[in-house]
Every structure is written in C-alpha cells, then in structure tokens.
Amino acid sequence: MYAVFYTLHAAISIYWWIVVGAAIFSWLYAFNVVNSRNQFVNSLGTMFYRLTEPVLRPIRRFLPDLGGVDISPIIVLLALTFIGVFLNTSVQPLFGIGPI
C-alpha cells in the first residue's frame, strides 16, 4: 500500500509543477518574452497545453470572466494540494502507513 500512496503523491507533485510551468509559460508567451516562432518554444507550449487543458477547461466554464486574468491554474493547484493533504492525513492512517 505504501507504494500506491508514494506513487500518487509523486504524481500529484509532478502535475503541480506542470501546472505552474504552464502558467509561467503562458505569461511569457502572452508578453512576447519567448519567440513564438521557435520550434522548441512551440513544442513546449503544445506539451503544456495538452497536459493541462483537459483539467483547466471544465474549471474555466464555471468561472466568471475576469478580463485577461485566468485563475483556473490557482484553483487546480489548490485542489491538488487538498488531495495530497487529504491522502496524507486521512487515508494513510487508515492503512497504518506513516506520512510521506
């Protein structure tokens, strides 16, 4: 069981950083800090889009229009943090596993 919780914790941590990277990349892209014609930048943007858009899209449907501000990554990060804490504090003790 420890392996399952450790793997879930690692996956949540990795996805947390992917969402942070996608948010930072979107700011850099929006302010023309990175060259959008560069093939590496384009492939990096496509990767971030494909990894985060399935999670961010449903959240954006329920959020009000705040102009140019997109707070859906913040909501996803809060949800990922909640899931990680919930697994560590509520589910792990049920199986007699120590904290990760």
Query: 31-40: per-residue pLDDT in tens?
Result: 989 998 999 9
Residue 34's pLDDT is 93
CA distance 67 to 86: 33
Task: Label residue 98 by pLDDT band (50, 70, 90).
Answer: low
Closest listed residue to residue 10, CA positions, set 75, 79, 96, 88: 88
Closest listed residue to residue 30, CA positions, set 60, 69, 66, 61: 69
| Token pair 């879930």: residue | 8
Closest listed residue to residue 21, CA positions, set 73, 61, 88, 58: 73
Q: Is the pTM of this model over 0.75?
A: yes
CA distance 88 to 81: 11
